[in-house]
Amino acid sequence: MSASETPRKPRGRQFFANPGPTNIPDSVLLATAHQTMDFNDPNFLEVYDGCIAGLKQVLRTQHEVFLYTGSGHAAWEATLVNLLSPGETVLILESGYFSDSWAQMAKDLGLEVQMVAADWRRGVDIADVRAALAADTAHAIKAVCVVHNETATGMMIPLPEVRAALDATGHPALLLSDTISSLGSLDYRMDEWGIDACVGGSQKGLMLPTGMSFTGVSAKGMEAHKTSRLPKFYFNWSKMMTRRHRSFVGTVPISFFYGLQESLRLMLQEEGLDNVIARHTRLARAVRAAVQHWSGNNGPQFFCLNPARYSDSVTAVMMPEGHDGDSFRATALQRFNLSLGGGLGPLGGKVFRIGHLGDLNEPMILGTLATIELTMKVCGVPHQAGGVDAALAALG
Ligand SMILES: *Cc1c(COP(=O)(O)O)cnc(C)c1O
């Protein structure tokens, strides 16, 4: 075989190893194919109320959850405009492409952005967060924003340590966290960790189509909302609270809730949330064993250089010098029908990302890893052969 062989339409199911959107279980797909209903129909309201209760279980919160028709970006925006006023300062922990995008959004919305700078490969030093908070004796910082799981780099930021930095400095800022690629795959505890607002989306750990997102809000967050002056209409939580659904200004996307009801049933009843998280931990270990093995012979390397913060839902793999990640991904897709994630922003072409969250099991992960190794062979990317055996050893 050679990399230049004419691309053909591959047979068999596509192996989808992106970190979002993710695979949708067949039962969830079927459940979303629901005939239109009035969103005030008592039968739908029962499904809806069950979904809100289940979503709160996944977030591990007793507090408010507001939902929007829109992807994760919509919930980012909703969260900022409902909590803050023009010119107020937010402290954003740099983690990678997603922290920088959230920061750019905050600036465009008229907020002052202070960054805690970090090397994307090593991640933020919590001592720097504490120092920034301690230096802010006037309490100009109104919110601290953290991407819990930086999907671009494959790094998880320990939220309890950020909470501890706020507590240690007695700083009253709200703690906002993006849990878009961690919810339903990594341990996440909104109330226990003292998170004031958390942003989630439908198409990652929740295994749904793209297009619905939400914010969980603490009592302290709701107090801050009352005085927030950034302009809002569709996203206005106060407006939402006057409605039966306590969410959605406008039509409720009913088909999402039939899908969500099923994905929550899979997660909370059939598998159990703790088992969902344990499965992600186990599969991530297999992926990392393979990547670690391939890194021999001047092979590809972990982008994340902080093993204590390795993400259990996505691994970013840095290509060896002289090898392009995007052409590697194109070969995996065209030759073998394996879809991998690409590098985002400045990492474009430099890394590929293995998504290992959502509806996945051992055969799917092993198939993905074997196909990555095959693609390295086909593309002439240096590596130490035998990564799949290393993954098997990690699983066995
Ligand atoms: C996917 C993702 C987003 C963006 O969400 P969209 O649904 O694409 O708008 C934001 N933050 C993180 C950490 C993500 O993984």
d(C-alpha 149, C-alpha 162), whole Å = 14
Mean pLDDT of 167-196: 98
Q: CA torsion 168→173→174→177, rounded to 10°?
A: -70
Residue 300 in this model has a pLDDT that exceeds 90: yes
Closest atom of ligand 1 to 74 CA is 9
Task: Residue 227: count other Cβ atoms within 10 Å of its Cβ.
Answer: 9
State the CATH class of domain 15-22+273-395: alpha beta
Nearest Cα to Cα of residue 180 among 201, 151, 150: 201
Pocket test for ligand 1, best of 18, 73, 212, 213 (most atoms within 8 A of CB): 73
d(C-alpha 23, C-alpha 219), whole Å = 34
CB 95 within 8 A of CB 153: yes
Chain centroid to CA 389: 29
Could you report the per-residue pLDDT of 314-336, keeping only the tens digit for each?
Answer: 999 999 999 999 999 999 999 99
Mean pLDDT of 196-212: 98
Ligand 1-lining residues (CB < 6 angstroms):
20, 71-73, 98, 147, 151, 178, 180-181, 201
pTM listed for this prediction: 0.96
CA of 1 to the centre of ligand 1 (A): 37
Closest atom of ligand 1 to 203 CA is 7
CA of 332 to the centre of ligand 1 (A): 24
Pocket test for ligand 1, best of 98, 206, 311 (most atoms within 8 A of CB): 98
Instruction: Tell the residue number behind the tokens 């301690």, with chain if given.
Output: 134
Could you report the per-residue pLDDT of 95-104, keeping only the tens digit for each?
Answer: 999 999 999 9
CA of 146 to the centre of ligand 1 (A): 13
Closest atom of ligand 1 to 98 CA is 11
Residue 48 in this model has a pLDDT that exceeds 60: yes
d(C-alpha 212, C-alpha 210), whole Å = 6
Residue 33 in this model has a pLDDT that exceeds 90: yes
SS3 209: coil
Could you report the per-residue pLDDT of 236-257, keeping only the tens digit for each?
Answer: 999 999 999 999 999 999 999 9
Q: Which CATH architecture has domain 26-268?
A: 3-Layer(aba) Sandwich (3.40)
- Ranges of CATH 3.40.640.10 domains, the chain: 26-268
Closest atom of ligand 1 to 19 CA is 15
Cα dihedral across residues 159, 160, 161, 167: positive or negative: positive
Residue 1 in this model has a pLDDT that exceeds 50: no
CA of 26 to the centre of ligand 1 (A): 23
Distances from the Cα of 369 to the Cαs of 238, 256, 294, in angstroms? 48, 32, 11
Residue 318, amino acid: M
Task: Residue 265: count other Cβ atoms within 10 Å of its Cβ.
Answer: 16
Length of the chain in terms of residues written: 396
- Ranges of CATH 3.90.1150.10 domains, the chain: 15-22+273-395
Could you report the per-residue pLDDT of 352-389, keeping only the tens digit for each?
Answer: 999 999 999 999 999 999 999 999 999 999 999 999 99
Pocket test for ligand 1, best of 71, 95, 147, 156 (most atoms within 8 A of CB): 71
d(C-alpha 303, C-alpha 121), whole Å = 6
- Output the furthest CA–CA distance in the chain (Å, rounded): 65
CA of 66 to the centre of ligand 1 (A): 17
Task: Using pLDDT thresholds of 50, 70 and 90, give the confidence band for residue 12.
Answer: confident
d(C-alpha 141, C-alpha 174), whole Å = 9
Query: pLDDT value at position 10?
Result: 74
